[in-house]
Amino acid sequence: MEQKLKRDMRMGDNLRRLRLDHGYSQEKLCAELQRFGCDIGRSAYSQYEGGELNIRISVLVALKKLYGCSYDEFFEGLDIEN
């Protein structure tokens, strides 16, 4: 059985916090992500932050490199349900 990721607003909040902590606008961040090979527009990234769209793993990998943070920072405050 295939399991899908559940959208979580707190994930979007974490993405927004990290972006702002590093001084990026959504547009500038998307331009930086493209340097890491992630073809993503501001509209899609806005949906990640708004919890409307699940973030791609390749984008998380690029953000981790760009921010120099741990993966834990993306998932801070999220509870895992069994």
Q: What is the pLDDT along the chain (82 residues), one digit of tens a residue?
A: 544 555 567 889 999 999 999 999 999 999 999 998 999 999 999 999 998 888 999 999 999 999 999 999 998 887 665 4
Of the candidates 22, 12, 1, the residue with the CA atom closest to the CA atom of residue 76:
12
Task: Please tell us whether the domain made up of 9-73 is placed in CATH 2.60.40.10.
Answer: no
**Would you state the pLDDT for residue 54?**
87
